[in-house]
């Protein structure tokens, strides 16, 4: 990592032409990945990412540079190139030292996964792979992997602050491929956490997840095509939260709000959702996949209220965009690596639990779809149009869960769907994913209890739902 004198020199040099804020982001990351396919170690890797990002701000202008060469010569050259984009006199006084800001570690990692013998990790992966492969002959591939990312970051800025954090993200991934009579079905599960080995060894039941993965790939292999049309959809807890992430979360990020490019720009205090909907983004949850003890510009993550009883109450705001908005930064600035300029991003985003049980929601639905799990989705923040694909779904008929259906896509508009959420369950859960946006691909939790959307367009190949 950089020594403090070099950091001081780079900041002082970079601020010589009028920048009003300068920041260095220094990163060293080591990633180990192991993959077991059909019960054999198929591949493993060790990779190292190392570099520095340098950010200069002046009012609402930002310039950013990054390099994998951490030498003094390279960093001073980068500072010189970037500072040339501003023309002016020095505004900041020269820094002479940094205050080390004490960061409260929110993660309780008794045994880091990086400290666990490789054999133990491989043995867990093989166990999961064999459970999936042995479940049914129609499963032709089981691919189970573990990735462990040890991420050391240091941030220095022209306010004289120095922040330091060591993180460890670990994720177990399970994918099965089943095949029968030319039909092929795949299923993915990917639990991840920052709590170290205990999460995989004690908190979650890896064997149960593997069995469920195998069961579901076979079930969906034999499923009928999903019906299409506008209908009520019950969306399962946990991964179902991807709907809120896509349909609403992205439009609440300052990246698009600050420029007035979001459908929810300038709408604070307005009713944007049904009154049964309250939602939060909380990057301070201990051990969770999307959390951070300190964000990627030195902000402290917190529980941010986004929607309260259907009323828009808050946005996700980073330091740079806070300059355009009449709002304070709230610990949400994130980036994939030193190559990316940080910006406002989600962490653990969820719809708060309501009162109904999952059974009550299903029972209240005469005819519709129960969408349990999703492959992901995407959204155009300027229009609010979104889509997401279901990986596991069922028909609901007369208040009961019926046959499985495959190939369902839900499409809609953010402004509409939030108003159409008419029931919220009491079973909040999270699902882990990687979110790709302006500052790269970062770990996030999506979350929600079971909810019902009273009408949404479902795309599928199975004809009318009345024929089911």
Chain positions 235 to 294 lying near another protein, rule: CB under 8 A, are 259-261, 263
Identify which of residues 212 and 413 has a Cβ nearer to another protein in the complex. 413
Identify which of residues 68 and 111 has a Cβ nearer to another protein in the complex. 68
In angstroms, give the least distance from the CB of 378 to another protein. 5
Q: What is the phi/psi pair of residue 417, to 5°? A: -65, -35
Q: How many other C-beta atoms are found inside a 10 Å radius of the C-beta of residue 374?
A: 26
Q: Which tokens go with 348?
A: 């653990």
- Residue 116 binds to another protein (criterion: CB under 8 A): no
User: Can you tell me which residue has the tokens 């986004």?
Assistant: 306
In angstroms, give the least distance from the CB of 354 to another protein. 26
What residues from 316 to 375 belong to the interface with another protein (CB under 8 A)?
Answer: 339, 341, 374-375
Reference 463, options 184, 183, 224; nearest CA is 224
Binding mask 42-81 for another protein (x = CB under 8 A): xxxxxxxxxx--------xxxxxxxxxx----x---x--x
Part of the chain binding another protein (CB under 8 A), chosen from 11-19, 100-108, 304-312, 405-413: 405-413
d(CA 69, CA 51): 6
Q: Which tokens go with 70?
A: 């951490």
Angle (CA) 314-315-320 rounded to 5° is: 135
DSSP letters for 330-367: -S-EE-SSTTS--EE--SEEEEPP-SB-HHHHHHT-SE
Identify which of residues 314 and 459 has a Cβ nearer to another protein in the complex. 459
Identify any residues that bridge with 43 across adjacent strands, giving them in sequence order: 35
- Strands 21-37 and 40-58 come out as antiparallel
Pick one of 5, 137, 229, 402: the residue that binds another protein (CB under 8 A).
229
Pick one of 245, 323, 406, 452: the residue that binds another protein (CB under 8 A).
406
Pick one of 88, 90, 118, 123: the residue that binds another protein (CB under 8 A).
118
Pick one of 382, 397, 419, 420: the residue that binds another protein (CB under 8 A).
382
Identify which of residues 33 and 401 has a Cβ nearer to another protein in the complex. 33
Identify which of residues 315 and 386 has a Cβ nearer to another protein in the complex. 386
Give me the sign of the Cα torsion angle 446, 449, 455, 461.
Answer: positive
d(CA 361, CA 450): 8
Identify which of residues 31 and 161 has a Cβ nearer to another protein in the complex. 31
Pick one of 10, 155, 405, 408: the residue that binds another protein (CB under 8 A).
408
d(CA 223, CA 407): 9
What residues from 170 to 209 belong to the interface with another protein (CB under 8 A)?
Answer: 177, 179, 182-186
In angstroms, give the least distance from the CB of 427 to another protein. 24
Burial of residue 84 (number of CB atoms within 10 Å: 0-12, 13-18, 19+): exposed
Identify which of residues 241 and 376 has a Cβ nearer to another protein in the complex. 376
Pick one of 166, 271, 387, 427: the residue that binds another protein (CB under 8 A).
387
Total binding residues toward another protein, as defined by CB under 8 A: 78
Identify any residues that bridge with 442 across adjacent strands, giving them in sequence order: 435
Q: What is the CA radius of gyration of the chain?
A: 24
In angstroms, give the least distance from the CB of 65 to another protein. 4
Pick one of 16, 35, 133, 149: the residue that binds another protein (CB under 8 A).
35
Identify which of residues 68 and 286 has a Cβ nearer to another protein in the complex. 68
- Residue 409 binds to another protein (criterion: CB under 8 A): yes
d(CA 58, CA 452): 46
Reference 285, options 376, 198, 350, 238; nearest CA is 350
Pick one of 91, 180, 215, 380: the residue that binds another protein (CB under 8 A).
380
- Residue 122 binds to another protein (criterion: CB under 8 A): yes
Pick one of 383, 400, 403, 441: the residue that binds another protein (CB under 8 A).
383
Query: Is 168 within 8 Å of 150 (Cβ atoms)?
Result: yes
Q: Which tokens go with 123?
A: 């043995």
């Amino acid at each position: 990592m950089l020594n403090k004198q070099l950091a001081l020199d780079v900041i002082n040099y970079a601020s010589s032409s009028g920048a009003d804020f300068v920041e260095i982001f220094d990163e060293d990351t080591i990633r180990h990945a192991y993959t077991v396919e059909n019960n054999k170690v198929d591949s493993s890797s060790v990779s190292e990412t190392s570099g520095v990002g340098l950010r200069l701000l002046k009012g609402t202008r930002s310039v950013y540079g990054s390099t994998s060469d951490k030498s003094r010569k390279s960093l001073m050259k980068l500072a010189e190139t970037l500072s040339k984009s501003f023309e002016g006199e020095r505004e900041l006084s020269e820094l002479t030292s940094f205050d080390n800001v004490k960061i409260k570690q929110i993660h309780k990692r008794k045994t880091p996964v990086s400290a666990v013998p490789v054999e133990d990790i491989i043995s867990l992966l093989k166990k999961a792979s064999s459970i999936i492969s042995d479940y049914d002959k129609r499963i032709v591939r089981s691919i189970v992997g573990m990735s462990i990312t040890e991420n050391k970051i240091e941030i220095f800025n022209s306010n004289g602050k120095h922040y330091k954090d060591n993180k460890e993200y670990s994720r177990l991934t399970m994918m099965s491929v089943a095949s029968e009579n030319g039909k092929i079905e795949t299923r993915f599960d990917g639990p991840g956490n920052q709590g170290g080995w205990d999460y995989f060894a004690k908190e979650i039941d890896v064997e149960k997840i593997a069995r469920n993965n195998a069961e579901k790939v076979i079930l969906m292999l034999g499923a009928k095509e999903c019906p299409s049309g506008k209908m009520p959809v019950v969306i399962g807890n946990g991964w179902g939260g991807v709907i809120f992430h896509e349909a609403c979360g992205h439009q609440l990020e300052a990246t698009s709000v600050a420029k007035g490019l979001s459908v929810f720009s300038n709408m604070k205090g307005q009713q944007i959702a049904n009154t049964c909907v309250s939602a939060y983004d909380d990057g301070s949850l201990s051990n969770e996949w999307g959390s951070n003890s300190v964000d990627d510009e030195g902000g402290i993550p917190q529980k941010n209220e986004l929607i309260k009883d259907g009323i828009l109450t808050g946005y996700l705001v980073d330091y740079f965009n806070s300059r355009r908005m009449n709002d304070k930064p709230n610990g949400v600035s994130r980036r994939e690596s030193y190559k990316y300029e940080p910006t406002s991003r989600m962490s653990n985003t969820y719809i708060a639990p309501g009162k109904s049980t999952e059974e009550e929601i299903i029972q209240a639905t005469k005819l519709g779809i129960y969408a349990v799990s999703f492959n992901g989705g995407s959204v155009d923040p300027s229009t609010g149009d979104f889509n997401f694909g279901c990986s596991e779904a069922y028909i609901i008929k007369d208040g009961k869960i019926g046959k499985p259906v495959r190939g369902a896509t839900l499409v809609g508009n953010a402004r509409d769907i939030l108003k159409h959420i008419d029931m919220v369950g009491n079973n909040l859960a999270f699902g882990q994913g990687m979110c790709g946006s302006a500052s790269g691909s970062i770990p996030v939790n999506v979350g929600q209890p079971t909810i019902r959307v009273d009408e949404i367009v479902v795309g599928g190949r199975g004809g009318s739902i009345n024929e089911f």
